[in-house]
Amino acid sequence: QVQLQESGPGLVKPSETLSLTCTVSGGSISSYYWSWIRQSPGKGLEWIGFIFYSGSTNYNPSLKSRVTISVDTSKNQFSLKLTSMTTADTAVYYCGRLSLNSPYWYFDLWGRGTLVTVSS
């Protein structure tokens, strides 16, 4: 059974860079699209971006200037970097897998989420 697990710091200072990793266990990262989504009380659920296992990416335009998503197939992991963090970036960050059920798109698997708080 494939599972996703987010890891990274729970506390980030304003202006710093957030780095999170999602580890895929019980299956291969290959052949799928992988994504980051966040959820905050103020903005609800917000899609951050996705990466194909080969490395091609697509980002939310509202975050594009600050986001980098990368993949390490040798470790079965993909990662999120979000620069210039502010209090507005405080949220639960989820990693997710996109289905291969063409032509449909949907998140068929989610990690449990990790709370990231931005505070000095």
Partner 1 sequence: ENVLTQSPGTLSLSPGERATLFCRASQSLNSYYLAWYQQKPGQAPRLLIYGASNRATGIPDRFSGSGSGTHFTLTISRLEPEDFAVYYCQQYGSSPWTFGQGTKVEIK
Least gap, CB of 46 to partner 1 (angstroms): 7
- Nearer Cβ to partner 1 (19/58): 58
Q: In terms of Cα–Cα distance, which of 112, 107, 75 is closest to 93?
A: 112
Least gap, CB of 45 to partner 1 (angstroms): 4
What is the full DSSP assignment across 56-74?
-EEE-TTTTTTEEEEEETT
Least gap, CB of 120 to partner 1 (angstroms): 27
- Nearer Cβ to partner 1 (41/120): 41
- Identify the burial level of 83 via C-beta atoms within 10 angstroms of its C-beta, where 0-12 means exposed, 13-18 middle and 19 or more buried: middle
- Nearer Cβ to partner 1 (13/100): 100
- Nearer Cβ to partner 1 (40/73): 40
**12 to each of 24, 43, 65, 71, 85, how far by Cα in Å?**
24, 19, 19, 22, 8
Q: Which residues bind partner 1 (CB under 8 A)?
A: 44-47, 58, 60-62, 94, 99, 101, 103-108, 110-113
**93 to each of 54, 72, 82, 90, how far by Cα in Å?**
23, 19, 11, 9
Least gap, CB of 20 to partner 1 (angstroms): 15
